[in-house]
Structure 1
Amino acid sequence: MIHIEVEGSANGNFSKRMFRCFYRIFDKFDREIVAFAVLTGPKTSGKSQGFTYSYFGTTLNYSYNVSKVSEYDEEELMQSDRLYSKVVLAAKYLHETENKVDLRYRFKIKLMREVLKLEVHSRVSITAVFYFIDYLLRLPEELSHEFTDKIRPILEEERQKMVQYESGDLSPTLADLARIEGKEALEEGLEQGLEQGLRSVALTMLQENLEVEYIAKLTKLSVAEVEKLKEAHM
């Protein structure tokens, strides 16, 4: 059995809680258990001593594996092709850029590009990590739109592969991209509708035997477009 706890730090009664989970799992399943504590806080505290109990000659010492985000080397994480390395990087960047939105912007672009390059993993896994990073490294609205424009070409290449793209629960960047694409589609539809309306007006005017140049002037269509309409319908 595998027991994993993710916590900001191992302060307070964390070690005691780890032990309680251990004995409950052991009591229920009576199997070997390996335990991991993943500490995501920005500062490295001393090595966890685990949980110790001693009372009138009854003694218990319980220890577990500890992984601290702050102790991972950034360069090694960036070079790794393991998805977990990018999750750890996102947590490190969250703390490093707490009050530095411009730096977070640059880190986020770099990290998302790296994630989208990891072809050795399934698109489901890559998409899940992409969502995690996008939600964790949130940007102010203005920078968020700029970020979407910057990364949009990459996302459009990945669009067919990202299986959750059409989901209603989109990550911030994908939601912003969907909003932009929806707006563009609406504007394109309005433009096409306006053009179609002008052609219809021009055709009516042709049927009234008005001059081609005069029709082009009123409808803002080119003379060639009006001539083409005349040839096709008159």
Structure 2
Amino acid sequence: MRKKNDILLKSAFEEFFPDLLRFFFKDADDIFNIDSGFEFLDKELSELFPALKKKGGSRFVDMLVKAYLKNGQEEWILVHIEIQGEGTKDFPKRMHQYWYRIYDRYEVDIVALAVFTGNHNQKRPNRFHKEFLGTRITYEYNVYHILDHSEQELLAMDNPFALIVLAAQKTLTMNKIPEVELGFQRLAIAKAMIQMEKYDNPKIKRFLFFLKTFVHIENSSINFNFEKEIASLTGQETAMGIIETINMLTREEALEEGEKRKSLEFVTNLLLAKRFSTSEIASFAGVSKSYVKKVEAKMGAK
């Protein structure tokens, strides 16, 4: 579940990246040329840290993004998402390593942002400092914790990315509050996104699927109520297509083991994100490439 949520969160950060910038930098629209788009440099990042790949990854989900400023210059943005609730002892050192390796390779300015997603007691280091015999270096970077804003504050913001932060908050309550209560909270986030009227229907649908999968609830009646409420808010044609596809695939695999059902949902989500190759999806989900292609074919036939 942790690895699945890591990938989901990264995908949401990429999908809603312009609003991520607006969330963290109040003058984002004056600084960045949003209309020029963004380039996600996962390959460049993995080349700088090949050891992580050999060790099978890490606790971290990292994003390196190329953006453009209003003056036409390039700006690179390092968004570092610390997923674990603990284990931040060497985090500042890691952030500094990212900075100097990127700068040494590409000689570009870097905006660094660390997003922490643990509980209230999670440490949030924001600087790396080293000195010896009069030689010293201090590296500071932007930090944010998903609990820095209250639920009321996030809902009051006119920024869809605030609802992704709120969804991340809700994952901290999973298995700690009744599923019925969590279901109502999840539905409130969905309604808030729809009522913002910031995105077109396809993008809203992708957010709703992210929300339903990320804030996972086992109870089928709660999930049915979620789908019914969304349908009444957005219309059957625009809201239910993605849900019907998932339900159809789930029904076909109903006789399979529980783990296979979870794999199906995970693979479907990654395919819908349209950001990962067949090999990457197979690796993330722990299934074969032929299985991924089978799911994709069924989705295309719908």
Q: TM-score, normalised by structure 1?
A: 0.63
Structure 1 window deviating more from structure 2 (90-99 vs 24-33): it is 90-99
Structure 1 window deviating more from structure 2 (114-123 vs 44-53): it is 44-53
Deviation at 1:31, TM superposition (A): 1.9
* Structure 2 gap segments, 5+ residues each: 1-75, 252-302
1:77 maps to 154
2:11 maps to none
**Deviation string, structure 1 residues 69-113 (Cα, Å, up to 9, x no partner):** 111121121122211100011011221343221111100111111
Once the two structures are superposed, the pairs formed by residues 46-85 of structure 1 within 5 Å of their partners are 46-85=123-162
Q: 1:138 aligns with which of 207, 216, 228?
A: 216
Deviation at 1:64, TM superposition (A): 0.5
Alignment: residue pair count: 172
C-alpha change, 1:33 and 1:62, in structure 2 (3 Å) is: same
Equivalent pair of 1:39/1:69 in contact (CA under 8 Å): yes
Report whether the alignment pairs 1:104 with 2:182: yes
Equivalent pair of 1:36/1:66 in contact (CA under 8 Å): yes
1:33 maps to 110
Deviation at 1:34, TM superposition (A): 1.1
Deviation at 1:29, TM superposition (A): 1.9
Report whether the alignment pairs 1:176 with 2:247: yes
Equivalent pair of 1:6/1:39 in contact (CA under 8 Å): yes
Q: Name the CA distance, whole Å, in 2 between partners of 1:125 and 1:150.
A: 18
1:215 maps to none
Once the two structures are superposed, the pairs formed by residues 64-213 of structure 1 within 5 Å of their partners are 64-100=141-177, 101-142=179-220, 143-155=222-234, 157=235, 159-160=237-238, 175-176=246-247
Deviation at 1:124, TM superposition (A): 4.5
Counterpart residue identity of residue 175, structure 1? I
State the secondary structure of the residue aligned to 2:199: coil
State the secondary structure of the residue aligned to 1:41: coil
Between Structure 1 and Structure 2, whose CA radius of gyration is higher?
1
Deviation at 1:158, TM superposition (A): 6.3
Equivalent pair of 1:86/1:111 in contact (CA under 8 Å): yes
C-alpha change, 1:96 and 1:179, in structure 2 (3 Å) is: closer
Counterpart residue identity of residue 144, structure 1? N
Equivalent pair of 1:83/1:126 in contact (CA under 8 Å): no
State the secondary structure of the residue aligned to 1:96: coil
Percent identity between the two aligned chains = 22
* Structure 1 gap segments, 5+ residues each: 181-234
Structure 1 window deviating more from structure 2 (137-146 vs 11-20): it is 137-146
1:203 maps to none
C-alpha change, 1:75 and 1:51, in structure 2 (3 Å) is: same
Q: Name the CA distance, whole Å, in 1 between partners of 2:143 and 2:175.
A: 24
Q: Name the CA distance, whole Å, in 2 between partners of 1:81 and 1:118.
A: 7
Counterpart residue identity of residue 77, structure 2? I
Root mean square deviation, CA, Å: 2.8
Q: Name the CA distance, whole Å, in 1 between partners of 2:111 and 2:150.
A: 25
Equivalent pair of 2:116/2:144 in contact (CA under 8 Å): yes
State the secondary structure of the residue aligned to 2:197: coil
Deviation at 1:119, TM superposition (A): 1.6
Equivalent pair of 1:145/1:176 in contact (CA under 8 Å): no
